[in-house]
Structures are given as C-alpha cells and as structure tokens.
Amino acid sequence: MEKNPLRLLTGPWLPDLPALDNPGILTATNVYARTPKSYGPVGSMQVYSSALGARCQGAAAFLDATGNVNLFAGDASKLYRLVPGGTSWADVSKVGGYSTPSDGQWKFEYFNGIVTATNYSDPIQKFNITAADTAFSDLASGAPRARYLAFIKNFLMVAGTFDATDEDQPQRVWWPALADPTNWPTPGTVAAAQVQSSRNDLFGDYGFIQGVVGNLGNADGAVFMERAVFRVIYSGPPVVFDFSPAEGVKGCVAPNSIVQYGNLAYYLGPDGFYVFDGLTSTPIGANKFDKTFYADLDQSYLDRIVGTADPINRQIIWAYPGRGNSGGTPNHLLMYNWDLERATVCDMECETIARMLSIGYTLDQLYTVLGYTLDTLPAPLDSRVWTGGQLLLGAFDTAHKLNYLSGANLAPTVDTTEAQPFPGRRWRVKGARPLVDGGTPSVAIGRRERLVDPVTFTAASAMNALGICPVRASGRYGRARITLPAGSDFSHIQGVELDGDQAGSR
C-alpha cells in the first residue's frame, strides 16, 4: 500500500521563535506574504528615470485637480519635478538651492494645488502645480523652518521648528491660518486668533518630535516623539488643538519609519514595530520578527530607515541598512502585509523608497516620446507603469535613478516548518516534490540529530521532468528549503511533499 507523502508547508515568517514546534518558518527572503498559505514573487528594480544630482533624500507623487501626475524628489542641494512627456527630472529648485544635511530628509505635502516641502535647514518651500510654477519658492514670511509637516483638519501643522526669536524648538508644533498654508500671523495676536493660527510646545521628558500625521481613526492627528505619541484633537477656538499623550505608547526611534496609510500609522519603536490608531499602539512584530530585525539593523543609521505603503500588495515596507550595508545605504526591505499580519525580508539596495504614481503613456508615446521599442521596454506593456495615475512602489537606486519594482523576479528562498515526523525516532528522505506553481524550483533538506546541533542542508537538488527533486537525507529533525533562480515566473510557494519514512524501516 502506497504511503501518503509527508507535507512540510510554509507558514508565517517567525524568526524570533525556536525552530521546533514553530507554527511558522525561519526564512522567507525575496518574497512577499501573498495568501495565508503561500508566498509570492517580488520584482527587481527596473530603472525608469534619469538620475538626480546626488543621493535621493525624499520623494513624493501627487495628482493635480485635473488628474495630471507630478513626481517630486529632493537631494542635498536641489528639488526636482517629473511630469508626463519624459523620464528626465527637471531642476525646480529656488535660486541658490538648498543645504540638506546628510541625515536630513525632504518631507512633502499637498493641499489645494500647493505642494509644500521641508528639510529643516531651509525655509519651507511651496510649488503651485495648478498655476504653472516652474520653481519652488519660500512658503511665506513669518513661517518657521520645520523638520516635519502634515495637514490636519485643513491646517498645515509643522513640527520641530526653528524661528528667529526662539531658534531651535524640537518639541514645538505650529500651524498657520485655516485652509491657508501661506498665512502665518504672529502667534498670540488678534490676527492669529481670527484665523485659528497658533503653536504649542510639548514640554516634558518625551524627547524630540519625530514626526506628525493627520486623520487617524481615533484622533484628528498624532505627534510622534522619542518616548511618547501625542493625540491631536481639533477643539476649535480659542485653543484650536488639544494635545495629550496616548497612554502607554513608547514612542518612535526612527523619524522616517512613520508610515500613514488610511486611518492608521505604522512606526518603529524602541523594541519593535507598532501600529497606532489614534488611541492606542499595537505591536505587529512582537514574538515574530522584531528581535531578528534589530539584530540585523545597523543602528548607526536610524535616520536612513524609510517606510512607505504599497497598497497594491497591501504592505507597509521599510527600507533599512542591515548587516553589510555600504555607509548607511539601505540594503534590505522589511515587507509587512497588514491583512495577513505577516512579514518577509528582501535583499535590495536603494537610497530610499516612496509611494509613487505612474506617469502614463500611449503605445505611440512609448516610441515617439521615450524612444522605446517592443524589445527595449523596461516593463511589460500590461504593467501599471504605463497607465497614468496608478499607485506604484518607487525606489531610487545608488545611481540616484527612480526605479519601479517591475523587473524580473528576485531569486526567492523559503524554508518550510521544521518537523520531527516520528517522535523519538530518526527519519529519511528519498525525494521532494516542491509545491510551487512555476519556474524550476530546487529543494535542499535541512536536518539535525539534536536541537543543540546546527542545521545542515544537503546540496540543492533541481526538479526533474517528473516534478521530483532527487535528494537523500536522514535525521531526527528536518525541514526543506525551496529556492528558484532569479527571473523565475511563479505565483505561489506553498511547501514540499516528501517521499520518506522512518529510518530503519522498509
């Protein structure tokens, strides 16, 4: 009677837990959590644009009132814009340029046709995309410099400010007139009260402000500090906004890790990743991947951690400098699927990542405007890259060029769970059938006799014409490792079926 094959399946990536009796797996690299039972492919970086003048230190994408796409990016000394009709960035800096420090980041916001940008070192900038502006200019007389900004209840709230009177105020938030980010009356005056403009200092043992977001599920906004998160509630005149610390929330250690998507804000705390709903913070990586992340992170470059949202694949993604990084350049992506509450890691070097919008071209424009042929297109014709206004994950490579993750699939590595099929006895494997729906996968078997022993893997065995990876191994505990070459076309990796039995039996 034929024996039923033993199945070793994938599960959630839980590298913080011990291997044995782990409901998940320890390795899930260059894939994303696609379903509760499988992992999907991640595309490689595919160059789309010309290069900025230096390392990208922030980027954003906006649609104007008529639906036109505008991409913006900034480096140490310049601001750039890219619009339909080309792939070259135009220098739209104000006269004299800028002086963004190496640990600085450009922050962008959009309201009623005006793009605002800040790097703290220079005055807040504005660019009216509906009035045919050709260069950024200073936002307004009386406006402070600021590290962070966000729109909350039609107010442009800035945080971590500098002004000529009080100079550096890392615990201050400040907002101009209602619905007018260009009107900054002197705080405390009648003119300021008439337009609900004011400021507030969040003094206390909370550390410096790390970021600000608006429109959360249980608050009108939030101010993230090193050791606290303040809820922001619009109360109207004369106070305008109330600020109160959310109970028990630890705070944020990496300013650019804050990612708002919908009515939630995700961020990196001192002991791992959290999601804040405007009232409470919930850990998303505890007993899963927090310890593994921190063990890999180069904490000398917390400022280089950058997060963004990938709404197409329902993921929050953080680019971070892990082990082996080059001078703080992020070389890994932590990808967290908020629906499945699962994460993976990708090996990818980039200067920064950002949620972008596709420019959009007709087939004729691909040839006449961009000069592509069907053989030289950097992405397939059915890619979202060519459809205007589509949300895309953008990444700037170390040559300072915008890329989309539309290239050939990365080479994945996924382990299955570790099992002891015959408690107290050894087992042996004669072959493995990978549960993968494309490509030519290979399987290696990891085994050990004692939990104190390191796992030893066999050589990876490629799948033959019968769908079997011929491999022989024996041990008391075992797992399988599935790999595919870069460029493999597949949709799901689920695990393996093993042809094996108890060692010593026939």
**pTM of the entire predicted model:** 0.94
Of the listed ranges 51-65, 322-336, 490-504, the least confidently predicted one is 490-504
Pairing mode, strands 107-111 and 114-118:
antiparallel
**CA 26, CA 24: separation in Å to the nearest integer?**
7
The per-residue pLDDT for 363 is: 45
* Percent of the chain with pLDDT strictly greater than 90: 85
Output phi, psi for 447, to 5 deg. Answer: -145, 160
Say whether 291 sits in a helix, a strand or coil.
Answer: helix
Contacts of 26 (CB under 8 A, 6+ apart): 13, 14, 15, 19, 415, 418
Helix (H) or strand (E) holding 236: strand 229-236
Say whether 386 sits in a helix, a strand or coil.
Answer: helix
Farthest CA pair distance, the chain = 92
CA 31 to chain centre: 14
CATH of 6-27+411-502, one of 2.60.120, 3.30.420, 1.10.155, 1.10.3470: 2.60.120
* Domain ranges for the chain: 6-27+411-502
Higher pLDDT, 369 or 83: 83
Output phi, psi for 295, to 5 deg. Answer: -65, -30
What size, in residues, is the chain? 506
pLDDT confidence band for 464 (50 / 70 / 90): very high
How large is the average pLDDT for residues 59-80? 94
The per-residue pLDDT for 186 is: 97
Average pLDDT, the chain: 93
**CA 267, CA 276: separation in Å to the nearest integer?**
8
The per-residue pLDDT for 84 is: 84
DSSP letters along 305-322, please? -EEEEETTTTEEEEEE-B
Indicate whether 160 pLDDT > 70: yes
**Amino acid type, 408:** A
Give the residue carrying structure tokens 């705080």: 187
Burial 297-324 (b: 16+ CB within 10 A, else e): bbeebbbbbbbbbbeebbbbbbbbbbee
Give the residue carrying structure tokens 């994303």: 32
Q: Tens of pLDDT along 466-501?
A: 999 999 999 999 999 999 999 999 999 999 999 988
Ramachandran region, residue 170 (left: φ > 0; alpha: ψ -120 to 50; beta: rest): alpha
Of the listed ranges 142-156, 195-209, 333-347, 489-503, the least confidently predicted one is 489-503
Give the residue carrying structure tokens 């959590």: 33
* Percent of the chain with pLDDT strictly greater than 70: 93
Structure tokens at 478: 């075992």
**CA 305, CA 322: separation in Å to the nearest integer?**
10
Structure tokens at 378: 């950097």
The per-residue pLDDT for 55 is: 98
What own/partner pairs with CB < 8 Å and gap ≥ 24 does 275-279 have? 275/338, 276/216, 276/222, 276/229, 276/246, 276/249, 277/216, 277/217, 277/218, 278/216, 278/217, 278/218, 278/219, 278/222, 278/231, 279/217, 279/218, 279/219, 279/231, 279/246
The per-residue pLDDT for 350 is: 98
Say whether 299 sits in a helix, a strand or coil.
Answer: helix
476 touches 422 (CB < 8 A): no
The per-residue pLDDT for 1 is: 34
The per-residue pLDDT for 376 is: 61
Q: Tell me how many helices (H) and strands (E) the chain has.
A: 3, 40
198 touches 187 (CB < 8 A): yes
DSSP state of 177: B
Rg of the chain over Cα atoms, rounded to whole angstroms, equals 26
Helix (H) or strand (E) holding 202: none
In 3D space, the residue among 403, 444, 385, 482 whose CA is nearest the CA of residue 31 turns out to be 482
Indicate whether 2 pLDDT > 80: no
Contacts of 460 (CB under 8 A, 6+ apart): 442, 443, 444, 481, 483
Indicate whether 365 pLDDT > 50: no
Q: Tens of pLDDT along 115-158?
A: 999 999 999 999 999 888 999 999 999 999 999 999 999 999 99
Give the residue carrying structure tokens 């500098």: 162
